[in-house]
Chains A and B, each alone.
Chain A
Amino acid sequence: MTADDEALLILEEVERARPRDQKVRLSIDLVGAAGRNLVIGGWIDDRGSTIDSVTVEARGSKAVLSGGQLRRTQRTDVESELRAPAGSRLGLVAFTGDLAFAMPPNEVVRVVIALADGRAASAVARVRSASPVEVRLEALAGLLACSVTEARRRLGSVELVSSARDFAALEALTAEQPAAVPAFADDGLVVMDWQAPRATSVALNVDAVAVSPDGGIFVVGWIDDREAKLTGIRLVAPAWHVSFAAPKLARVRRRDVEQALGVTAATRFGFWGLHFSAKGLAVSAQAGCTIEFVFADGSLQSLKLPHLRQVEQAELRNVVLGQIVADEHVGSVQVEASNLLDGGIGDGIVALNRAVVNRATAGPHVIRFGHRTDFRMSVVVCLYGRAEFLMLQAAAYSATKMGGVEFVYVSNSPELAETLVKEARIATLLYDVPITLVILSGNAGFGAANNVAVDYCRSRVVCIMNPDVFPRSAGWAEALLDGASSGAGGTFFGTPLHYDDGSLMHGGMYFETDTGISFSGNVISERRLLRVEHYDKGTPAEAAKQMVTRPVPAVTGALMVVRRPWYERLAGFSPDFVFGHYEDADLCLRSFAEGEPVFLRNVPFWHLEGRGSTRLPVHEGGSLVNRWLFTRKWLEYAGEHGLLGAEPRNPAFAARKAAAA
Chain B
Amino acid sequence: MKAIATDSPAAGEPGRGSPRLKVLVVSLYHPELIRGGAQQVAYELYQGLAATDGVDATLLASADQRWPSLFKSGARITGFDQRPGEYLFLSREYDHWWHRSGNVELVERFCQFLAETRPDVVHFHHFLTLGIDLLSATRRVLPEAKIVFTFHEFLSICNANGQMVRTFDRSLCTTASAVRCHQCFPNHSPESFFMRENWLKAHLGKVDRFTVPSAFMIDFYARWGIPREKIEHVTNGQQLPAPDAEPSVQPSGPRKRFGFFGQLVDNKGVQVIFQAVTHLRMSGVTDFVVEINGDNLAYATPEFRAAFEAFRAAEEALPAAERNIVFNGAYSHDELPRRMRRVDWCIVPSLWWEIFGLVISEAWNFGKPVIASDVGGMAERIGHDRDGLLFAVGDARALAETMRRAVTEEGLWAKLEAGIRKPATREEMTNAMLRVYRGVGAAEEPATQSTGTLGG
Contacts and interface: CB of A to CB of B under 8 A. Distances in A.
A432 B139 CA distance: 11
A179 interface: no
B136 to A, nearest CB: 5
Interface residues of A, number: 23
Interface in B101-152: 102, 104, 107-108, 111, 133, 136-137, 140
B195 A430 contact: no
A608 B198 CA distance: 12
A426 B189 CA distance: 26
A426 B108 CA distance: 8
B198 A470 contact: yes
B267 to A, nearest CB: 29
Most chain A Cβ neighbours within 10 Å, of B108, B111, B133: B133
Given A430-B137, A500-B190, A425 B104 contact: yes
B140 A430 contact: yes
Interface in A561-596: none
Contacts of A398: 136, 202
A429 B102 contact: no
Given A388-B98, A430-B136, A501-B178, A608 B111 contact: no
Given A422-B104, A608-B191, A611-B189, A430 B133 contact: yes
A144 interface: no
A148 interface: no
B107 A429 contact: yes
A611 B192 contact: yes
Contacts of B100: 391
Interface string A494-529: 000000110000000000000000000000000000
Nearest to A423: B102
Given A432-B140, A468-B191, 19 more contacts: A391-B98, A391-B133, A392-B195, A392-B198, A395-B133, A395-B202, A396-B198, A399-B202, A419-B102, A423-B102, A426-B102, A426-B107, A429-B111, A431-B140, A500-B178, A500-B191, A608-B194, A608-B195, A611-B192
B92 interface: no
Interface residues of B, number: 24
Given A500-B178, A608-B191, A395 B102 contact: no
A33 to B, nearest CB: 44
A391 B199 CA distance: 9
B206 to A, nearest CB: 9
Contacts of B205: 399
A606 B197 CA distance: 13
A392 B178 CA distance: 17
Contact of B136 (A419, A431, A611): A431
B203 interface: yes
Contact of A430 (B107, B189, B191): B107
Interface string B177-212: 011000000000111101100110011010000000
The 6 closest A-B pairs by CB, nearest first: A500-B194, A608-B191, A395-B202, A430-B136, A611-B191, A425-B104
Interface string A295-316: 0000000000000000000000
Nearest to B139: A430
Contacts of A388: 98
A392 B194 contact: no
Interface in A373-411: 388, 391-392, 395-396, 398-399
Nearest to B138: A430
A360 to B, nearest CB: 26
Interface of B: 98, 100, 102, 104, 107-108, 111, 133, 136-137, 140, 178-179, 189-192, 194-195, 198-199, 202-203, 205
Most chain B Cβ neighbours within 10 Å, of A419, A426, A468: A426
5 contacts: A391-B133, A396-B198, A426-B104, A429-B111, A470-B198
A388 B198 CA distance: 14
Interface in A605-661: 606, 608, 611
B203 A429 contact: no
A395 B203 contact: yes
A429 B140 contact: yes
Contacts of A422: 102, 104
A396 B137 contact: no
Contacts, number: 61
**Interface on chain B toward A: helix, strand, loop, or mixed SS?**
helix
Contacts of A396: 198-199, 202
Contacts of A429: 104, 107-108, 111, 137, 140
Interface in A409-438: 419, 422-423, 425-426, 429-432
Most chain A Cβ neighbours within 10 Å, of B102, B178, B179: B102
Contacts of A468: 191, 195
B137 to A, nearest CB: 5
B187 to A, nearest CB: 14
Contacts of A391: 98, 100, 133
A470 B191 CA distance: 12
A470 B178 CA distance: 16
A94 to B, nearest CB: 54
B38 to A, nearest CB: 24
Contacts of A426: 102, 104, 107, 133
Nearest to B179: A501
A430 B110 CA distance: 11
B26 to A, nearest CB: 16
A501 to B, nearest CB: 7
A26 B402 CA distance: 109
A74 B195 CA distance: 74
Contacts of A606: 194
Nearest to A500: B194
Contacts of A395: 133, 136, 199, 202-203
B175 to A, nearest CB: 16
B328 to A, nearest CB: 46
A398 B139 CA distance: 12
Contacts of B111: 429
B191 A392 contact: no
A501 B195 contact: no
A501 B136 contact: no
Contacts of B203: 395
A490 B195 CA distance: 31
Contacts of A470: 195, 198
Nearest to B110: A429
A35 B137 CA distance: 52
A211 to B, nearest CB: 41
Contacts of A431: 136, 140
Nearest to A395: B202
A503 to B, nearest CB: 12
B199 A392 contact: yes
A130 B98 CA distance: 49
B105 to A, nearest CB: 9
Most chain B Cβ neighbours within 10 Å, of A423, A430, A501, A608: A430
A425 B195 CA distance: 21
Nearest to B194: A500
Most chain B Cβ neighbours within 10 Å, of A391, A399, A429: A429
Nearest to B192: A611
A356 B79 CA distance: 53
Contacts of B137: 429-430
A608 B190 CA distance: 10
Contacts of A501: 178-179, 190
B147 to A, nearest CB: 14
A149 B107 CA distance: 60
A473 to B, nearest CB: 14
Contacts of B133: 391, 395, 426, 430
B107 to A, nearest CB: 5
Contacts of A423: 102
A395 B200 CA distance: 9
Contacts of B178: 500-501
B113 to A, nearest CB: 13
A392 B198 CA distance: 9
Contacts of B140: 429-432
Nearest to B97: A388
Contacts of B189: 611
